[in-house]
């Protein structure tokens, strides 16, 4: 026997192992593995807070057969604004999207603005098939976000907010929505990139999360989750050319917008009191900054947050927070990521050194709106009175009248004149001076805005440069 063991040591070991296997009862081996993965748990946790949103809107289509808006879009707005309703054909359209309940006690729902744009009626359907009529609390087209509210006798299921500032490229994400009307569809993927800029129609959206999880029409407004089921972004299907590419608005950015919409019904852009300009090659020889980047401070409003923090004309802002400033456009976009009253850290190049200056922002003071209008628009305005209507022979009763034009201003160059009445600025109907101030404050950081100007009995749409 000893001789056998010496000659066949491996065979002896095999016998020992076989004996151990036989000794172990077969019921000790698992019949199957658990299928309840982290993704399954996250979806089960969050699904009750994901809602289906259907909105109904009215479309007025001109019935004049002589003009084709595909040839000249001007006629669409012409007939819409100057012809009586009997010359229009109206029909109703519907839009489908998703949303997520972010406050179950108060019934607040976060979604995309383009899901409910122009809606006359909004219906929300929960996972358990309960239906609610929703009220629009506020919308922010520049951020493609909106907040809805529904009334319920009981607390609704709500989602837990995550943190989108510590996301990792390659980490697993989960998207839930209603693509093409298929309720509560789940797709998974990974984060492909961060801080993406996406051009959609006439807007550029910045700081998006890019993912390879499928995002299709109907997913818009739904949540994108991390592996723990925490909300890290709001899906948006605004990029029509995307194939295998999805985009989402980071939740930290969405939260700031959402808070303003709930509190004010609109987004309050922080005010620093800084006017800046691009640092073009002709200026870099005088303002030598690292990598030649940044924007030049051209003016500082007295008693503004920037003035109180010590900023002066000639300083160069090279970063906002931790993000570099490469142009005036990026500077304005980065400022919009903060809320009014936030402390905004600006990296400033002055005296051949880099300094971080903390600036506590405020809301734009309404009393400065008229002065801003003169500085950037070149107009002085006044509310319409009977005397002014008779003097300038105008038919308008609502709006504000241009009483002075600065020579050489943009409006002066395109032919505006005293006596013209401003009736509308973008989507703000201007009935009086207060409306004009609100519009100026709302759109002051835009490069341009569309004005509706009335002269006598005629009205004209004019695109006006603001910067």
Q: What value does the mean pLDDT take over residues 231-255?
A: 83
Task: Select from 64, 145, 150, 146 the least CA-distant residue to 104.
Answer: 150
Contact yes or no for 146/136 (Cβ under 8 A): yes
161, 166, 171, 176: CA torsion to nearest 10: 20
**Per-residue pLDDT tens for 293-340?**
789 998 899 899 999 999 999 899 999 998 889 888 889 888 988 888
Q: What value does the mean pLDDT take over residues 233-253?
A: 81
**Annotated active-site residue in 54, 114, 260, 361:** 114
Taking 60 as the threshold, does the pLDDT of residue 89 lie above it?
no
Strands 108-111 and 119-125 turn out to be unpaired
Q: Tell me if domain 274-360 and domain 366-465 are identical in fold.
A: yes
Distance CA 81, CA 180 (A): 34
More confident residue, 467 or 223: 223
Distance CA 314, CA 294 (A): 12
**DSSP secondary structure, 284-346, as one string:** HTTS--GGG-SEEEEEE-TTSHHHHTT--TT-EEEEETTEE--SHHHHHHHHTTSPTT-EEEE
Residue 220 annotated among the catalytic residues of the structure: yes
Distance CA 237, CA 182 (A): 15
Contact yes or no for 127/184 (Cβ under 8 A): yes
Identify the DSSP state of 155.
Answer: P
Contact yes or no for 451/444 (Cβ under 8 A): no
Q: What value does the mean pLDDT take over residues 194-199?
A: 84
Domain spanning 37-267, CATH architecture: Beta Barrel (2.40)
Distance CA 404, CA 21 (A): 98
Which backbone phi and psi does 212 adopt, to 5 degrees?
-100, 5
Give every CB contact of residue 11 below 8 A, 6+ residues apart in sequence: none
More confident residue, 308 or 33: 308
Please tell me the predicted confidence (pLDDT) of residue 344.
94
Residue 412 annotated among the catalytic residues of the structure: no
Q: Is 294 left (phi over 0), alpha (psi -120 to 50) or beta?
A: left
The encoded tokens of residue 218 equal 């109907």
More confident residue, 237 or 287: 237
Contact yes or no for 174/89 (Cβ under 8 A): no
Furthest CA-CA distance within the chain: 127
Identify the DSSP state of 7.
Answer: H
Taking 90 as the threshold, does the pLDDT of residue 261 lie above it?
yes
The model's confidence at residue 267, banded by pLDDT at 50, 70 and 90, is: confident
The model's confidence at residue 3, banded by pLDDT at 50, 70 and 90, is: low
Q: What value does the mean pLDDT take over residues 227-249?
A: 82
Q: Any idea which residue has 């009935």 for tokens?
A: 431
Distance CA 120, CA 122 (A): 7
Residue 179: exposure state from Cβ atoms within 10 A (0-12, 13-18, ≥19): buried
Taking 80 as the threshold, does the pLDDT of residue 140 lie above it?
yes
Task: Select from 405, 424, 403, 428 the least CA-distant residue to 415.
Answer: 405
The model's confidence at residue 14, banded by pLDDT at 50, 70 and 90, is: low
Extents of the domains making up the chain: 37-267, 274-360, 366-465
Distance CA 238, CA 222 (A): 13
Residue 385 annotated among the catalytic residues of the structure: no
Residue 226: exposure state from Cβ atoms within 10 A (0-12, 13-18, ≥19): buried
Distance CA 166, CA 163 (A): 7
Q: Is 373 left (phi over 0), alpha (psi -120 to 50) or beta?
A: alpha
Q: Provide the mean pLDDT of the chain.
A: 82
**Per-residue pLDDT tens for 382-399?**
888 878 777 777 777 889
Which CATH number is 274-360 given?
Answer: 2.30.42.10
**Per-residue pLDDT tens for 104-136?**
999 999 999 989 888 888 999 999 889 999 999
Strands 50-62 and 131-133 turn out to be unpaired
Taking 80 as the threshold, does the pLDDT of residue 381 lie above it?
yes
> What stretch of H or E contains 89?
strand 88-103
Task: Select from 252, 269, 146, 278 the least CA-distant residue to 194.
Answer: 252
Please tell me the predicted confidence (pLDDT) of residue 70.
44
Distance CA 74, CA 258 (A): 35
Please tell me the predicted confidence (pLDDT) of residue 79.
47
Give the three-state DSSP class for 135.
Answer: strand
Give every CB contact of residue 166 below 8 A, 6+ residues apart in sequence: none
Distance CA 305, CA 295 (A): 18
**Annotated active-site residue in 220, 275, 304, 361:** 220
**Annotated active-site residue in 54, 95, 144, 164:** 144
Class (C level, CATH) for 366-465: mainly beta
Query: CA separation (Å) from 78 to 83, 218, 420?
Result: 8, 33, 19
Please tell me the predicted confidence (pLDDT) of residue 82.
47
The encoded tokens of residue 390 equal 């008779």
Contact yes or no for 148/136 (Cβ under 8 A): yes
């Amino acid at each position: 026997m000893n001789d056998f063991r010496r000659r066949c040591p491996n065979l002896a070991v095999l016998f020992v192992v076989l004996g151990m296997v036989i000794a172990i009862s077969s019921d000790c081996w698992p019949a199957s593995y658990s299928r309840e993965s982290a993704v399954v748990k996250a979806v089960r946790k969050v699904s009750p807070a994901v809602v289906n949103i259907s909105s109904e809107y009215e479309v007025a289509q001109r019935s004049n057969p002589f003009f084709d808006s595909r040839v000249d879009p001007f006629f669409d707005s012409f007939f819409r604004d100057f012809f009586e309703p009997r010359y229009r054909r109206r029909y109703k359209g519907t839009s489908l999207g998703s949303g997520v309940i972010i406050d179950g006690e108060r019934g607040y729902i976060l979604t995309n603005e383009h899901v409910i744009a122009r809606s006359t009626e909004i219906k929300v359907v929960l996972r358990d098939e309960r239906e609610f009529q929703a009220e629009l609390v506020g919308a922010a087209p520049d951020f493609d976000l909106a907040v809805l509210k529904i009334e319920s006798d009981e607390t609704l299921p709500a989602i837990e907010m995550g943190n989108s500032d510590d996301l990792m490229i390659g980490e697993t994400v989960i998207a839930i929505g209603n693509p093409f009307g298929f309720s509560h569809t789940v797709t998974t993927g990974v984060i492909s990139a961060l801080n993406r800029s996406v051009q959609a129609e006439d807007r550029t959206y910045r700081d998006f999360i890019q993912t390879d999880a499928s995002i299709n029409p109907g997913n818009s407004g739904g949540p994108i989750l991390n592996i723990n089921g925490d909300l890290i972004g709001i899906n948006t299907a605004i990029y029509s050319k995307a194939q295998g590419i999805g985009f989402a608005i980071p939740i930290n950015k969405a939260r700031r917008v959402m808070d303003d919409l709930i509190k004010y019904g609109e987004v309050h852009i922080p005010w620093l009191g800084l006017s800046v300009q691009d640092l073009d090659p002709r200026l870099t020889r005088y303002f030598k900054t690292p990598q030649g980047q940044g924007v030049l401070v051209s003016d500082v409003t007295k008693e503004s947050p920037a003035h109180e923090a010590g900023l002066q004309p000639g300083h160069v802002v090279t970063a906002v927070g931790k993000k570099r400033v490469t142009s005036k456009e990026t500077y304005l976009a980065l400022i919009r990521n903060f809320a009014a009253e936030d402390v905004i850290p600006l990296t400033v190049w002055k005296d051949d050194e880099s300094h971080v200056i903390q600036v506590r922002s405020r809301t734009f003071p309404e009393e400065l709106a008229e002065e801003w209008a003169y500085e950037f628009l070149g107009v002085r305005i006044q509310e319409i009175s009977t005397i002014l209507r008779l003097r300038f022979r105008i038919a308008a009763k609502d709006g504000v009248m241009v009483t002075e034009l600065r020579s050489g201003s943009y409006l002066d160059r395109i032919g505006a004149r005293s006596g013209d009445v401003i009736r509308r600025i973008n989507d703000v109907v201007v009935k009086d001076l207060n409306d004009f101030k609100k519009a100026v404050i709302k759109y002051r950081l835009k490069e341009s805005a569309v004005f509706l100007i009335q002269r006598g009995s005629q009205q004209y749409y004019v695109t006006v440069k603001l910067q």
